[in-house]
Structure 1
């Protein structure tokens, strides 16, 4: 376990929601690290064709399975419904399965929501400059943030960051209908419509050898462009 996780306080009143699709090589490690801080986790396996669901199940967390791949938006909505209907969590935290998000950042965002009475806290990789992003991807993400800022009425620097902390009263007002990349803009719009106090929080995204080998950065940029056109 990384030193940063060893020194963090356990967060018992939040549930981590991890959408999962074909991340068998890394998902067990991601969950095991997160559980030291977030003991309550629901993983939504979105029709993986590899051993992802089995790997997640070995950690003892809740695993909910979609029989076919529906998209990340659908996986998140399944997680939202589980947390609202099956737990008393005060917060839900959306957290990626591929190891790019920081458990320390997630914990800090929950504590910020608690301390400042915020309905939701959105992660941003651009607030402190700690994440190095390629020029093309940065341009796409900046454009997406500008479009989402206009549609939601919120001034955002990073609208497509999967690390989010959502308080229960805000979570109750979310109903995602966009299953694929357009869900990111939909979440922002629906959260903005709540009128609740909110903040962006600086986070670090770890672009790993694993994610680069999957071609994830380029593929996500293409998906975000599609999202901007059709959302």
Structure 2
């Protein structure tokens, strides 16, 4: 769970998760508030970046930490702002357990137009998916959903190099490059005034496209 200045919600988010999943790793990405202290009090493992590096870097750090834990076999990326639902993680783990895929990606669009997704964000997400050749090849409808569940194979080889929001495009590119088997799972995203205040949907969408485009020109 990457977290940056989430002190007002982090304890509740972790508490909801730990009611089902005892092992929660929070990567405090250079927060200026009490996010790391509150995360520890809520029972999470906390890894701290001394400065803000971006969501991609935080996810990579969290996966590297988690994959070193004894017995770790199933991994999930989960937002700290309360948008993701624990019940969706449970369903995605069940889907992963069928054994025919290596990673399950959440989607807001597989079952038709989503309810509750702000119209601007919906347009941006659809545009990003349309502009992504990788997403089209993998037949993904919502490739930039931050809710993902994956196995040890993916965790062991994951190497995110794009620190910012463009890591979402890179994650999808890595699925194709490594031949990981992927499936989508319908999920519900809870948009609140707080979660929407955490970022600019249009700007983030542009950053995702730009960073993913740039990555193709940079050696790994």
Q: TM-score over 0.5 for the alignment?
A: yes
Deviation at 1:127, TM superposition (A): 1.8
The answer for the alignment partner of 1:124 in structure 2 is: 107
C-alpha displacement of 1:116:
4.2
Pairwise mapping of residues 153-168 of structure 1 onto structure 2 (< 5 A)?
153-168=137-152
Task: Return the alpha-carbon distance in structure 1 between the equivalents of residues 62 and 130 of structure 2.
Answer: 28
Q: Distance between the aligned counterparts of 2:119 and 2:172, measured in 1?
A: 24
Preserved CA contact (<8 Å) 1:173 1:190: no
Answering whether residue 208 of structure 2 is matched by residue 227 of structure 1, we say yes
Q: CA deviation at 1:183?
A: 0.4
User: 1:169 is paired with a residue of what secondary structure?
Assistant: helix
Change (3 A) 1:65 1:176: same
Q: Which runs of 5+ in 2 are unaligned?
A: 213-220
**How far apart, CA to CA, are the structure 2 residues paired with 1:210 and 1:135?**
17
Counterpart of 1:98 (choices 63, 67, 81) is 81
Query: Which residue does 1:174 correspond to in 2?
Result: 158
Question: For the Cα contact (< 8 Å) 2:55–2:165, is it kept in 1?
Answer: yes
Q: Which residue of 1 aligns with 2:11?
A: 28
- Across the aligned residues of Structure 1 and Structure 2, the Cα RMSD in angstroms comes to 1.5
Matched length: 210
> Which range is displaced more, 194-203 or 68-77?
194-203
Unmatched tracts of structure 1, length 5 or more? 1-17
Partner SS state of residue 54, structure 1: helix
**Alpha-carbon separation, structure 1, partners of 2:175 and 2:70:** 21
Report if the CA contact (8 A) 1:124-1:202 is conserved.
yes
Q: After the TM superposition, which residues 178-217 of structure 1 pair with which residues of structure 2 at under 5 Å, given as runs? A: 178-212=162-196, 214=197, 216=199
Larger mean Cα displacement after TM superposition, 28-37 or 108-117: 108-117
What's 1:107 paired with?
90
- TM superposition score normalised by structure 2: 0.90
Aligned to 1:52: 35
Change (3 A) 1:135 1:61: closer
Deviation of 1:195 after TM superposition, in Å, equals 1.7
- Separation (CA, whole Å) in 1 of partners of 2:176 and 2:110: 20
Which string of whole-angstrom CA distances, capped at 9 and with x for unpartnered residues, describes residues 142-182 of structure 1? 1211233x135311111211100011111222101100011
Shift of 1:193: 1.9
